Each structure stands twice: as structure tokens, then as C-alpha cells.
Amino acid sequence: MDRNTSPHFKRQSLLCFICLCLLTGCETKEEVSTPSISTKVNSSKTTHTNGAPDQAPQPWQTPEDLLLFVTRHQPSGYEKDFDLVQTAVACVDAEDLSYASRTVRLIRMPELQEKAQKRQILKLIYTDRNAQALKLVEKMDSPTERGRAQHRIASKMIKDGAVTQARSIVKQMTDLNSKYKVVQLLSRTLKTEADIEQALKESRSQLAEERELTVCCVAVRRANQNQIPQATALLRELRSAEYQQIAAGTLARSQLKAGQIGSAMSLVLQGVVDPYDSLRDDISRQLMNSNNIEQAIQVAQEMEYLKYQTSAIYYIADKLLELDQPQRAQEVMLLVNKTSQTQQEEKERFYSLASFAGRLLEQGHLDQIKDYATHVDIEVFRHYKFFEKLIEAQLLQGDLEQALQLTETFPQADIYAAASFQLANQGKFDQAREIALKIKDGYHRSAALAPLVVQLLKANQLDQAFEVLQKMDDTGFQCTGPESRQYHNSPHHWHSDKRVYEKMIEKLLEANQPERALAVTQLLNEQKEQSVYTGYLCEQLIKREKYQEAYDVALNFSAETKYQARVLRTTYIALQKAIERQWARELTQQTPIPELKAELHLKLASKFQELQDQPESRKELLAAKNMIKKLEQTRLNPECARELVSALIEAGELTQAAQIACRIEDKLEKLPALYAVTQELTKGTPLEYKPYSKGTIRDHKLKPTFTPEEKQLARQIVDAINAN
């Protein structure tokens, strides 16, 4: 029973938030990309009962205000949404729960909003704070959001044996989908016949709403135990439309399982079953399985919810294929090939049409595919790697000419790529390369050449593989044309090319050709990609115990400072993993980047601390502090400084971390660094809870207050942000 995606029950998120224009104590107006949500900083002044104005609390005064202030000023994008999720979860510990609810509203992506709300409720109920969880639910805007949260709270209560409290939550629920789930859980607490009889006896003296819930739970329990006559009798006693729908949906499913399709259909036709219940899909499938094809189609077409209608029609079409009726199957499938009203409907329609094309191909109905293609959009065939599979099928039948004819009929990048891929898999390397090189767009051409390189490497043809690799272009590692399904379903660089360069490096090292492996990294045009694969080369050299070679490659890599640092950091980590601490120490000492040098000294200090080698740990820590002191007189490299901030936080040097973060000039690096410091500064006591059978969540409570010293550090953070 899935109503969450139903258009009928969707609610729009709030479009407007409380705006902050000026902060008290600041002489200039803030440049804020997202509106403030803190009620404590919404105005520059408050008024006492005697009418005298007073200064409002500043962001540095409480942990929740600081955390919200810093999060709100993060650069826009996915990382900011992720930070907002973290902040929203932390703020459930604040005395004022509006911090938690309003932070969620700032998250742009609906799926991350849902994730934040789920984690908020889990944190509260699994740390024995059900009362706070229920208060937080009251602040949720959407009935669906409230329903999900109430379901989680009630589920935990039932699990803990607090059935009475869970029942009180059910009576407050307005989201039928969530209410259905909780009633199902409550019904399972009636474990024996004696429990059921006792519940019915108590229902006679209960008030109307309480009695409705009890009778519904018993009806559901009877239905789930296949006691259909008793469940039917109880259904007649119910007066609440919602409880009728919950009980009727459960009863109809039991009737279907018992083969009573007519009885289940009768409940549906009476209108007592929720119109958005997936039951109609189940009925249609069962009719189809009983060979009542026309009736199954009729039921499917009468469904109000397109998701279930599309699912049912696809199921019928698929079954017709199994009965070797491809033409009839196509006719049924094309019932969904109509104009969609919403984006979600279009998605459901498209996936079903694409899946059917794949099923036709799997069963070898190539002639039927040609006819099907005249009725649907060509984009349908770009899904699920259809063209690759079609060309593979043609080649397996020995029909090379037909496969190549497809590239002439559709001279497009993804068709060429599919043909090249299958030709390479069959060892037809020259033809595969010829086809791939017909692609004009550099992005798609490189993506098509990548699988060819892989096959050549498998065949140990290193020279030819290297030659093809030279024809690949990594510039941008992005499509140079407009985004489309053709783009999204092509073999992307991040799907193929990364492994291609890595595989080439590995093969050349296995062949004892390290110089040529280094040359692979120089084929790349962008410094970012050069740094990635040079770092990978160093890792592979260390894995093969070629420490001197890795050391030389890392130190000799020339690029922008941030990319040079990435190679050196990657090499350092690989040396530590290989337990080659002397080499790691030597690399640290020779590192030419001051911020990175300080960072690596800190990491060495931490490693020696783990090994309980206190003299060496102190020595490395002193070296790090000396290097940081020298940085006071220099301009910081933004990316390297941000990494140094992380290392200082890990080393417990929070004040120094804040000082470095405040000095970073590039706000794209500065603001995330300040957020990391703020997270650490606002952390309270550790929490550990286990909401799932597998996996433990480790978290912290938000600090209730700041000490004077912490408040001073918080003010430095706020001032640094306002300075931008």
C-alpha cells in the first residue's frame, strides 16, 4: 500500500523562509545565499515588557545558533544540503525544537529532507526521548512527513511494549499509508485467540474512536490469519472510513490468497478499499495468472493510480510474451504509450516501455522489435543498454552486416559506441576502432574507445592498447554536448575511463615498464586527472615494494600546488598503509608545501601516539607546530590549508584549527573549514544507538552551552564569516 508517491497526497514544501537581513554588531549587510532560520537572530533588537529595546542573542552565544549560522553561510550546492542534514540532526538536542524543524526546511533536495527527518526521529526515540520526538512531529508541515515520523515512533513503542502509547499516536495520524502500517503492527500484538477475545470484550466499553481502532486491529488480525468470515463480520461493524479502508484492504488480500477473486473485486467495486492501494494491481495479476486476460486488462485500465496501472499492464504484456503472443503483448503494452500528465507518470511510462523492449530482445523477437520501434520514441531503446544487447544478438547470429546497418540507420554516438563495444568483445579490434572513431564528439568518442582498450589489454596487446589510449581525450571528463538520455546511458568516463587508465598502469608495471606507466599519466590533459593517476601510479609502485620509485615520482610531480599536494598525500597514505614509516617520514621532510608538511607531521605524531612511542610523537608534533608558526607570515594555499584544519581538529588542536580556517582567503575552502571547526566546537557527549539489527550509529549530543573560552572562539568564527 504505497500512497507516498501519489499525486493526490503530495504536498509542496514551504517556498518561503524567514529572512535575515542584518546581524546586530555588524556594520555591513551580510551576503547570505540562504535565508536565516534562527528565531534568535531574526531581528536586530528585541523589546522588554517596559518597551526598552535590547540586543538580540548573537550567533556565537549558543551552540545551536552558531551551528545554524555557519551552516547557513556554506556555499550553495549538495555539500551545503549535506551539512544542513547534519545540523538538523544535531539541533534535536536544542531546548527549542524549532531549530531542528526549520533547518530541515532549508534543505533543497526532498530526498535529503526525508533523510534528515528520519535521522532526527531515530536519534530521539533510540535515546529515550519519545516526548521530544512527538513535539518535533507537531512542527512538520506535510501530513506525509508527519505520518512517516509517527510510524517510526509508534513502531519503537510497540517494540518496547508500550502498546497503549502507540495506540494514542494512531488516533492522531492523518496519513492513511502510515496509519495502515501501524495498525498492522498493533494487530500482531494480539498473538493468541485469548488476546483477540479480550480485545473484543474491552471494545464494548470503549469510547467510539478507541473502539473503532480495536475492532480494526482485530479485523486485520483475523484477515491475516485467513479467518475471512470473522474478518468480514468485523468490517461491517466499522464506521470510520479510514479504518474501513485499512481492514478492507487487508481482507481483500486474504481473499485473493484464498483464490476468492470475486469477493476481493466486490470490495473494490464497493469503494471501501483505498483507491491508491496496490490491491488492484494484485487482482489484475491474479486474473492474468488465471488466464482471464481481458478481465485483467480491464481491471488494469480502471486503476486510478498510474504507477499501479503501468505495473499491471507491463505484467500482463510480459505474461503474454511467455505465452508466445508477442503481437498481442505489444498491443497491451502500447496502452500506456500515451501523453503523461506529470514527470513521475512519464518516468513510469518510459521505464515500462523500455523494459518491454528489453523483454522482446531477450526472447529473440527481433522482427517484433522493428514493428514496436514504429510506435514508440527512439529514446525508449536507449535505456537498459538496449542497442548494445541488440547488436550483440545480431553478432551472435553471425549477422555482422545487420549490426553495422544499425549504425548507418542511426549514425549517433551511442549506437556507434554500442557497435564498437560488441565488436571489441568479439575480438574484432580493427573494426571496433574504426566504428568508435566515427564519433565526432570527443567525450563520447573517448568513452567508446575505453572498452576497446580494456579488451586489448586482456589480449595482452599493450602496444595497440597504448596507441588507442593516446586517441582518448580527458579534457573536462564531461559531455561537450547537451545532456540527454543518449548522454546519460553512454559509457561515461567515470564508468569506463578511470578503470582504463588504471588497468593500463597496472599492465605496464606487470610488464616491468614503469617509465611507460608514468607516460600514461602524461597523456592526460588536465592537471586534476594527472594528479589522480600519478597518485595511483605511486600507490601501485608502493604495493610492489618500489618505494624509491614512488618517492621520486611523487616529489617530481609538477602541477598547481593543490594537485601536487594530492599526489604527495596519496603517496604518504600508501606508505603508512605499507608500514613504511621511514619512507613516510622522509617524504614528509622533503615535502615542499608548508601546509601539507605541517599536516603530515601531525599525522605522523598521531601514528606514533597509536604505537605508544611518545618521544617520536612529541617530536613530530613539535615539527608541525614550528611549521604552523612559519605559516603565520605567509599567504595560505586554500585547499592545503583546509586539509591542515582537518588534521588539527583530529589532533585535538581546535583553537589552532580555527585560526588557520579564519585566515583562508578563498571562501569555497574557508567556509567548509569553519563548518568543520564549528561541528567539533559544538559536539557534546558521545551517543551510540542501534536502530537496525546491523550497524550502530555513533553520534554526539549538541553541547547545551559554551564556556567563556568556547564563546570567544565561536565569536572569531562568526567574525571571520562576516568579514567576507
**246 vs 401, more confident:** 246
* Percentage of residues in the chain having pLDDT higher than 70: 88
Q: How many helices (H) and strands (E) does the chain have?
A: 38, 4
Rounded to whole angstroms, the Cα distance separating 86 from 721 reads: 20
Task: Give the per-residue pLDDT at 448.
Answer: 85
Q: What is the pLDDT of residues 388-421, one digit of tens each?
A: 777 777 777 777 777 777 777 667 777 888 888 8
* 229 belongs to a structural domain: no
| Mean pLDDT taken over the chain | 85
Phi then psi dihedrals of residue 687, to 5 deg: -125, 150
* 501 belongs to a structural domain: no
Q: What confidence category does residue 716 fall into, taking pLDDT thresholds of 50, 70 and 90?
A: very high
The mean pLDDT value for 367-375 works out to: 88
Cβ pair 38, 59 in contact under 8 A: yes
The mean pLDDT value for 528-552 works out to: 95
- Decide: helix, strand or coil at residue 525: coil
Asked whether the predicted pLDDT for residue 43 surpasses 60, the reply is no
Cβ pair 386, 354 in contact under 8 A: yes
* 565 belongs to a structural domain: no
Q: What is the pLDDT of residues 129-183, one digit of tens each?
A: 999 999 999 988 889 999 999 999 999 999 999 999 999 999 999 999 999 999 9
Q: What distances in angstroms separate CA 72 from CA 33, 65, 379, 416, 662, one per listed residue?
A: 8, 10, 41, 47, 17
Asked whether the predicted pLDDT for residue 45 surpasses 50, the reply is no
Q: For residue 667, what is the domain's CATH number?
A: 1.25.40
* 408 belongs to a structural domain: no
Q: Which residue has the cell 621511514?
A: 582
Question: 271's torsion region: left (phi>0), alpha (psi -120 to 50) or beta?
Answer: left
Range of the structural domain that residue 68 is part of: 2-46+55-189
Asked whether the predicted pLDDT for residue 20 surpasses 60, the reply is no
**311 vs 3, more confident:** 311
**639 vs 361, more confident:** 639
Nearest to 360, CA basis, from 332, 402, 340:
332
**13 vs 172, more confident:** 172
Rounded to whole angstroms, the Cα distance separating 623 from 609 reads: 15
All cell numbers assigned to 139: 512542527
Amino acid at site 715: R
Task: Give the per-residue pLDDT at 414.
Answer: 76
Cβ pair 592, 602 in contact under 8 A: no
Task: Decide which of 189, 205, 222 is a domain's last residue.
Answer: 189
Domains held by the chain: number: 2
The mean pLDDT value for 487-497 works out to: 47
Asked whether the predicted pLDDT for residue 28 surpasses 60, the reply is no
Task: Give the per-residue pLDDT at 589.
Answer: 95
Asked whether the predicted pLDDT for residue 647 surpasses 60, the reply is yes
* 571 belongs to a structural domain: no
Q: Which residues of 454-492 are buried (b: 16+ CB within 10 A; e: fewer)?
A: bbbbeeeebebbbebbeebbbeebebeeeeebbbebbbb
Asked whether the predicted pLDDT for residue 301 surpasses 80, the reply is yes
Asked whether the predicted pLDDT for residue 8 surpasses 80, the reply is no
Question: How many C-alpha atoms does 424 have within 13 Å on its Cβ side?
Answer: 28
Nearest to 26, CA basis, from 60, 71, 52:
60
Task: Give the per-residue pLDDT at 445.
Answer: 85
Q: What is the pLDDT of residues 656-685, one digit of tens each?
A: 999 999 999 999 999 999 999 999 999 999
Q: How many other β-carbons are positioned within 10 Å of the β-carbon of residue 98?
A: 14
* 274 belongs to a structural domain: no
The DSSP bridge partners found for residue 711 are none
Q: Which residues of 638-657 are buried (b: 16+ CB within 10 A; e: fewer)?
A: bbbbbbbbbbbbebebbebb
Asked whether the predicted pLDDT for residue 87 surpasses 80, the reply is yes
Rounded to whole angstroms, the Cα distance separating 710 from 241 reads: 56
Task: Decide which of 144, 166, 189 is a domain's last residue.
Answer: 189
Task: Give the per-residue pLDDT at 455.
Answer: 92
Q: What is the pLDDT of residues 94-135, one digit of tens each?
A: 989 999 999 999 999 988 999 999 999 999 999 999 999 999
Helices (H), 374-513: 386-396, 400-409, 413-425, 429-436, 442-458, 462-469, 485-488, 497-510
* 677 belongs to a structural domain: yes
The DSSP bridge partners found for residue 47 are 53
Instruction: Evaluate the CA torsion angle 408, 410, 416, 422 in order and state its sign.
Output: negative
Cβ pair 420, 388 in contact under 8 A: no
The mean pLDDT value for 254-273 works out to: 90
Task: Give the per-residue pLDDT at 666.
Answer: 94
Q: What confidence category does residue 441 fall into, taking pLDDT thresholds of 50, 70 and 90?
A: confident
Rounded to whole angstroms, the Cα distance separating 235 from 692 reads: 35
* 133 belongs to a structural domain: yes
Burial of 325: CB neighbours in 10 Å, binned 0-12, 13-18, 19+: middle
Q: Which residue has the cell 473494490?
A: 268
Task: Give the per-residue pLDDT at 554.
Answer: 97
The mean pLDDT value for 193-209 works out to: 94
